[in-house]
Amino acid sequence: MNGAAEMYAGGIKELAAAHTGPESLPDPDRTASVDNPFCGDRVDLQLALEGDRVTAIAQRVRGCMLCEAAANVLARSAPGASRTEIEAARDSLQAMLRGAKASGEWPPQGWEALAGFEPVRRHKSRHGCVLLPFAALLEALSPATGCPLD
Rounded to two decimals, the pTM is 0.90
Strands 147-148 vs 53-62: parallel, antiparallel or unpaired: unpaired
- Sorted by where each begins, the domain ranges of the chain are 3-141
Is the pLDDT assigned to residue 62 strictly greater than 60?
A: yes
Predicted confidence at residue 144, as pLDDT, reads 65
Alpha carbon distance 77, 122 (integer Å)? 25
Is the pLDDT assigned to residue 115 strictly greater than 70?
A: yes
| pLDDT category of residue 149 using cuts at 50, 70 and 90 | very low
- For CA atoms 104, 107, 108, 114, the dihedral sign is positive
Q: Sheet containing 147-148: which strands, arranged edge to edge?
A: 53-62, 42-50, 30-35, 147-148
Is the pLDDT assigned to residue 101 strictly greater than 90?
A: no
Q: Per DSSP, which regions of the chain are E strands?
A: 30-35, 42-50, 53-62, 147-148
Alpha carbon distance 100, 30 (integer Å)? 33
Q: Are 60 and 74 in contact (CB under 8 A)?
A: no
Predicted confidence at residue 147, as pLDDT, reads 52
Q: Which CATH class is domain 3-141?
A: alpha beta
Instruction: Report the run of H or E that residue 88 belongs to, with start and end.
Output: helix 83-98
Predicted confidence at residue 141, as pLDDT, reads 95
Predicted confidence at residue 124, as pLDDT, reads 95
Bridge partner residues of 147 (DSSP): 31
| pLDDT category of residue 2 using cuts at 50, 70 and 90 | low
Is the pLDDT assigned to residue 20 strictly greater than 90?
A: no
Mean pLDDT in residue range 79-83: 97
